[in-house]
Amino acid sequence: MPPRPPVARTNQSKPRAIRFVLRDGDVLDGSVYLTEGHALSPYLSSRKGGWMNVVSAAWRSEGIAHPHVVVQSDDILFAASVDPDVGLSVSASTASRDVDVLLEDGSRLQGKLQLAARQRLSDYLASCGHFIPLVGAVHLPVGVGYGDVALNSTAVKAVRDAKSMSANAPSSAQAQAAWGGIRRGTPSQNDSLDTEEIVEGPSVNLDDAPLSPVEVARAKRMESHWLVRLALANQLGAPDPRMLSDRPSLDDIWAAISQTNNVEPEELATMVATAHKMKLADLDAVSPDALALVPARIAKRLGFLPVAVDKASLTIALSDPASMEIDQQLRFVTRLALKFEIAAPADIRGALSWYYGADDLPAAASG
């Protein structure tokens, strides 16, 4: 008798107890079928169409057990495993970073992300998928600890370095809302900040309606602005003069070029940085020492953000690489050599709100 072929051994899935905290505040306890070694965050991120099978499910508000339900993952704020055999993620990184996460309702979660050494926060979050693994999560301001959770990324407005959050510049709820709106490209919920947003949509066609003599003159003046000249040199169109006032700020011009050409403000930042042989600023890695070195009123008035400092130099993020006023005032105030990095004006103003508070944030001068 010929030998039998070897039987393939497969990990059998079995129900694992999970607690789901829902976005409406309710709690759902139940079990999902996971194979051995399958981590919670990638499991939740991989559900087809966002639907997830849950057995022995009970909503806390009802107190009634249901043998089987199908839950939409978008309704989950975060999930935590009750089963100690279920891991949170498949990350092999032994490094971690303390973070402060602003949620859509204005509350916060503090915990750790398992980032590799020197990994950018934005790159890591993009790699997580729909659910972000957050280790040792504590819900603020109530101070309730939830342990290791898989956090729904669509419920997150901003993720910040917790060390920066503990600097001598506590952020207000308004500042958090502004930063979240700017970084995620959604309108701020607090209009008192007067934070301008880029409205996504088709580019504006100047042929749709004739320009008035005033608008023609405004467009002519704009041709001499350094950012407009740079845009034209990179095969982008000039900003629609109907979007601008007679004395537009740099924020206004940057936003108008972005909208007219249907490009993101960050793409313009890359263009400016490349033209001036500068680096793009990483606003996710701001040093508290750099923040403490520059008075908030100066940073806000001139529209720049301190990023890093060493014994000999201060690195700042700005949008106008040729700003003489920033250069002169900072050299006088800090007595340090300056290094410039580029970021979009809206991103800088959002970061200023986050780190220093939301009061008195004028739009950057047109330069």
pLDDT on residue 342:
94
pLDDT tens, residue by residue, 270-296: 999 999 999 999 888 888 999 989 888
pLDDT tens, residue by residue, 320-351: 988 888 888 888 888 888 999 999 998 898 88
148 and 221 both lie in a single domain: no
158 and 44 both lie in a single domain: yes
Structural domain contains residue 54: yes
Report the domain count for the chain.
Answer: 2
216 and 142 both lie in a single domain: no
127 and 270 both lie in a single domain: no
Is the pLDDT at 19 greater than 50, yes or no?
Answer: yes
pLDDT on residue 200:
38
Hunting for tokens 């749709």 — which residue is that?
208
CA 226 to chain centre: 28
* Edge-to-edge strand list for the sheet holding 14-22: 65-72, 51-59, 27-34, 14-22, 76-81, 144-152, 131-140, 108-113, 97-103, 156-161
pLDDT on residue 86:
85
pTM of the model: 0.48
17 and 151 both lie in a single domain: yes
Q: How confident is the model at residue 133 (pLDDT cuts 50, 70, 90)?
A: very high
Structural domain contains residue 260: yes
Mean pLDDT of the chain: 79
Structural domain contains residue 360: no
pLDDT tens, residue by residue, 148-201: 999 999 999 888 877 554 444 444 444 444 444 444 443 333 333 333 333 333
Structural domain contains residue 297: no
268 and 146 both lie in a single domain: no
Q: How confident is the model at residue 146 (pLDDT cuts 50, 70, 90)?
A: confident
pLDDT on residue 13:
72
CA-wise closest residue to 177 among 249, 278, 242, 107: 107
Domain coverage including residue 227: 206-275
211 and 158 both lie in a single domain: no
What tokens appear for 303 in the block? 């529209």
- The secondary structure of 120-159 as a DSSP string is -HHHHHHHHTTEEEEEEEEEETTTEEEEEEEEEGGGEEEE
211 and 156 both lie in a single domain: no
β-bridge mates for residue 28, sequence order: 20, 59
Angle, CA of 303, 304 and 310, to the nearest 5° = 160
Structural domain contains residue 94: yes
148 and 17 both lie in a single domain: yes
CA 219 to chain centre: 34
Structural domain contains residue 46: yes
Is the pLDDT at 89 greater than 80, yes or no?
Answer: yes
- Domain containing residue 116: CATH number: 2.30.30.100
**Lowest mean pLDDT across 13-27, 37-51, 181-195, 287-301:** 181-195
